[in-house]
Amino acid sequence: MNMAIYDELPVYKASYDMLLTIFQFTANFSREYKFTLGEKLKNETIELIILVYRANSSKSKTEIIQQSREQIEIIRLLIRLLKDLNQVSLKSFVRINLQIENVSKQLT
């Protein structure tokens, strides 16, 4: 089996695009949040992509997919908190939430 096949999965591509978006807008966070919530958000999103990879390469996918769904909710919470702290514009908030919803639907 080709190990790079996971990067052709729609859920992997959607998660990766979401990670790129997160890296782009965390660059503009104030110093107070960039190294706390910004890093946490990036790490949680990277963990999500790792879980997508693991689910694809695992025979027993159910538990890993459930972990992925929990991971997306953590990301959703962090994004909302950052919006409430005025670190994410409404336009960026809507954009990232569309990406989150896309990934979330694919994990269901």
| Residue 7: domain span | 3-107
At 36, list the tokens: 């706390």
List, in order, residues 6 or more apart from 106 with CB less than 8 Å away: 10, 11, 14
More confident residue, 58 or 69: 69
pTM of the model: 0.89
CATH number reported for the structural domain that contains residue 51 in this entry? 1.20.1440.60
pLDDT tens for each residue of 24-40:
989 999 999 999 999 99
Give the separation between CA 53 and CA 33, rounded to whole angstroms: 29
Give the rounded percent of residues in the chain with a pLDDT score beyond 70: 94
Q: What is the DSSP letter of 6?
A: G
The structural domain count of the chain equals 1
3-class SS of residue 95: helix
Please check the confidence at residue 1 and state whether its pLDDT lies above 50: no
Phi, psi of 59 (to 5 degrees): -75, -35
